[in-house]
Structure 1
């Protein structure tokens, strides 16, 4: 997935419970998601509910592209935060970028 030109890794202060939960849910669900997409369309939108109602981040809606690396772009609407990242199924490495500056330029 050719995502936005993001500005480096996310600030750890923004890496709250919901972001961690999102990544864990995504990684653990990747294999299951692959098997569900038998039609060959490996891109889909998915919404995760807010695990912690008190969290200012809220839930997330994500565009997911399951390819060589499993990549996504997630929008946390409560904070106008946008993250993109990739999970490498072979190495298990996860990258996370804060794309909020790019998102906030949308009029």
Structure 2
């Protein structure tokens, strides 16, 4: 049974709340909650293969991006993700704790990913 509530009608930062939030800063608790949610979604979607990649091609929007092109020197970020749900989620989770020298925030990594709206209802 899930220990936190997911509500796709709410803004991304508001949809994850759980025991990890108690006594910690919002950002740390939020990222921890995202990791736990991603674990669940990875397990549930790892065998999903989309029939039409054009319908499930995710361009993840970043503050330093324009139509998928990296600007501002953020060379560690992928320019365009055209992946199935499982790959997209695994990549997002891995990027939360990568060692490329940039700070990655789950709000940036997942905020505009259509997975939230297609998979969590």
TM-score (norm 1): 0.30
Structure of higher CA gyration radius? 2
User: TM-score, structure 2 length as denominator?
Assistant: 0.28
Question: Which structure has more strand as a fraction of its residues?
Answer: 1
**Between Structure 1 and Structure 2, which shows a larger proportion of helix residues?**
2
